[in-house]
Amino acid sequence: MLTIAISKGRILKDTLPLLAEAGIEPSEDLSVTRKLIIPSICGEVNLVIIRATDVPTFVEYGAADVGITGKDTLVEHNSDNLYEPLDLEIAKCRLMTAVVTGRELPVGKIRVASKYVSLTEQYFAKKGQQVEIIKLYGSMELAPLVGLADCIVDLVDTGNTLKANGMEPLDLIMNISSRLVINKASMKMKHQQIKALTEKLKIAVDNRR
């Protein structure tokens, strides 16, 4: 049995067609079921659907053999205990700094709101910019509007969310897409199964280009 941990939400939506092309389909309707472990129709795979930020933890500890989550989550989690063999090229977006449109950043130390504390720290350290980071768990766009922060670090896709809140993207920190990650022990113990899955997914990704 192979266990695959998948981020729920938008990544799941983009992942299911890829998995289907690789021959893996859930035996239940994921939008209806309340089960957390869903067997595949082929009977060789269990799917566990969890929060994106929990995927690296599940895979690192071997609770799942394989995982699918965003590069943003992986870099922020910073585990060197995972293989990352494949860019699935789904759920693409950009990690960016953003400010209130037309408003300039103050001189000296700035306040930055983000859920990506580690990525934000690294980015501004490289630039030599002193920052105070304010960790938020969502609605980052709100922070500069209510005077909580001078700028934010968040994911941008169309830019509509920023625009709707009177903000604009400033600098690109990193291009983001979802990745296949693999537990190192599973890679040895279930080599054939994981190799076959990786190859099928790679073909599905290549076919889309």
Does position 156 interact with ligand PRT (CB under 6 A)? The reply is: yes
The contact mask relative to ligand PRT for 6-35 (x = CB under 6 A, - = no) is ---xxx------------------------
Indicate whether 77 belongs to the interface with ligand PRT (CB under 6 A).
no
- List the one residue from 39, 62, 85, 159 that touches ligand PRT (CB under 6 A): 159
> Shortest approach of ligand PRT to residue 159 CB, angstroms?
5
Residue 5 C-alpha from the chain's centroid: 13
Q: Per the structure block, which two tokens stand in for 143?
A: 């922070």
Residue 45 as a binder of ligand PRT (CB under 6 A): the answer is no
Stretch that binds ligand PRT, among 5-13, 96-104, 122-130, 198-206 (CB under 6 A): 5-13
- Closest CB to ligand PRT among 24 and 88? 88
Cα atoms found within 13 Å of the Cα of residue 121, Cβ hemisphere only: 9
Piece in contact with ligand PRT (CB under 6 A), picked from 4-12, 35-43, 144-152, 199-207: 4-12
Instruction: Report, in Å, the least distance between residue 50 CB and ligand PRT.
Output: 10
Q: How far is the CB of 157 from ligand PRT (least distance, A)?
A: 3
39: its two tokens: 């067997």
Dihedral sign from CA coordinates of 67, 88, 179, 50:
negative
Class of residue 159 by CB neighbours under 10 A (exposed 0-12, middle 13-18, buried 19+) = middle
How far, in Å, CA of 190 to CA of 2, rounded? Answer: 8
Rounded Cα distance between 31 and 188, Å, is 34
119 SS3 class: helix
Alpha-carbon distance of 87 to 49, in angstroms, equals 19
**Chain contacts with ligand PRT (rule: CB under 6 A):** 9-11, 51-53, 70, 72-73, 91, 93, 138, 154-161, 176, 178
